[in-house]
Structures are given as structure tokens and as C-alpha cells.
Amino acid sequence: MSIVVVAAVIVSAGRVLAAQRAEPPELAGGWEFPGGKVDPGESEEEALLRECREELGVEIAVGARVGGDWPLSPGYVMRAWLATLEAGEPVAKEHLALRWLAPEEYFAVDWLGADLPVMRAVADLLAKG
């Protein structure tokens, strides 16, 4: 059984939130969708809500799933959901920086290898409306 990492694709006014990782050194500087590992006993949705509180200081509402299991390092899979902001404005509590990407900027950041295909799927989903 793989460890599940959840990721939130937060969309607001047609922009998508990207977060720049601070660690570990081999990932630092790369951009990702906020999220992290599901804790034992926690549901995936609970983990998404917790990670967005911890990393961004916001409350989110979880929407549609984006794709299926996205490959990560061996022993891990990533699952992603669209989300909207319920309360608060995101602050980079654990990341180096945050960016709200407009459609023409979706691929302007250096996405982590795992997150780039998710961004492609999100671009397709949002283009369909």
C-alpha cells in the first residue's frame, strides 16, 4: 500500500494557486500544489483541509477530483482535488512564495515533475468550464 499525498488545486477568480517548496533541498525552489501526506486515521479530505490550514492559513471547500493516482516517488501516490477558498487569504507559512497563476501563466513556473501533469489536467478541466 502506497502512502497517499493529497494536493489542493485552489482556484479563485480564474487563477490557480502555486506554492514554491522550501524543502527538502532536492525539491526546494520547485513549484507545487499545496498539500502533504495523509496522517494515520485521517481521511484524505481531512488531510487536505489540515494541510491548507498549516501551510496557507486558509479554510477551503473541496471540489472535484483531478484525475486518478498521480505518480510520485516509489511508495507514494498523489491525489489532487479542485478547491475554493472559504475563509482567509493564503500566506506562505511553509513555502518560499505563493503565486496566483492566470491561465496564460499556468506553465510559467518551474513545476515539480509530479505536479506538471496535474497542472496540464487542471488546464484542460478549467478550459472546458
Assign 105 to helix, strand or coil.
helix
- Does the footprint of ligand 9L3 cover residue 35 (CB under 6 A)? yes
Binding mask 25-54 for Mg ion (x = CB under 5 A): -----------x------------------
From candidates 17, 33, 58, 106, binder to ligand 9L3 by CB under 6 A: 33
Closest contact distance (angstroms) between CB of 63 and ligand 9L3 is 17
Which CA distances in Å does 14 have to 36, 56, 57, 101?
24, 19, 21, 8
Name the burial class of residue 58, with classes exposed (0-12), middle (13-18) and buried (19+) by CB atoms within 10 angstroms of its CB: buried
**Binding positions for Mg ion, rule: CB under 5 A:** 36
**Binding positions for ligand 9L3, rule: CB under 6 A:** 5, 7, 27, 32-33, 35-37, 72, 78, 112, 114-115
